[in-house]
């Protein structure tokens, strides 16, 4: 018969998984800033795997907690640590999203000024001009 896993053990595994996930998030942020697209793809795949692992652990924890037993002080401390790591992960995601949005807006502004509109102007239902997404542009660079 399989050994019953305690809630504390599951929470420790979740904390370990989140530590590795936070490391990967930091790597993603660095890869985006340095434009290391191959490293970015590898890190995103690691994040996907870790997210699946965390989700499975979370399901396992919910099943273990469904018995209705009292939560110990150690488990409360582990849950608090887990919650703080989840908040840190959320903040990392928001920072990265803000960086990407700022960069995209910057490039969109340059393209709007540098490349003349070749097509007709599109209007929304409310009569506002709809901005087009950046078109592919190839630049010649001499080093």
pLDDT over 80 (residue 102): yes
3-state secondary structure of 71: coil
Residue 8 in contact with residue 74, Cβ under 8 Å? yes
- pLDDT confidence band for 112 (50 / 70 / 90): confident
- Number of alpha carbons in the 13 Å side-chain half-sphere of residue 99: 14
The answer to pTM > 0.75 is no
Residue 28 in contact with residue 96, Cβ under 8 Å? yes
What are the strands, taking DSSP E only, across 2-126? none
Confidence (pLDDT) at 12: 93
Confidence (pLDDT) at 2: 45
């Amino acid at each position: 018969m399989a050994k019953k896993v305690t809630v504390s053990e599951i929470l420790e595994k979740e904390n370990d998984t989140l530590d590795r996930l936070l490391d990967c998030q930091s790597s993603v942020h660095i890869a985006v800033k340095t434009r290391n697209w191959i490293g970015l793809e590898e890190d995103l795949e690691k994040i996907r795997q870790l997210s699946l692992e965390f989700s499975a652990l979370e399901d396992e924890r919910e099943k273990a907690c469904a018995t209705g037993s009292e939560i110990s002080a150690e488990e409360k401390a582990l849950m608090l640590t887990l919650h703080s790591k989840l908040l840190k992960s959320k903040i990392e995601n928001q920072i990265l999203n803000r960086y990407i949005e700022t960069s995209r807006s910057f490039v969109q502004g340059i393209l709007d000024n540098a490349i003349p509109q070749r097509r007709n102007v599109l209007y929304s239902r409310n009569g506002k001009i709809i901005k087009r997404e950046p078109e592919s542009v190839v630049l010649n660079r001499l080093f």
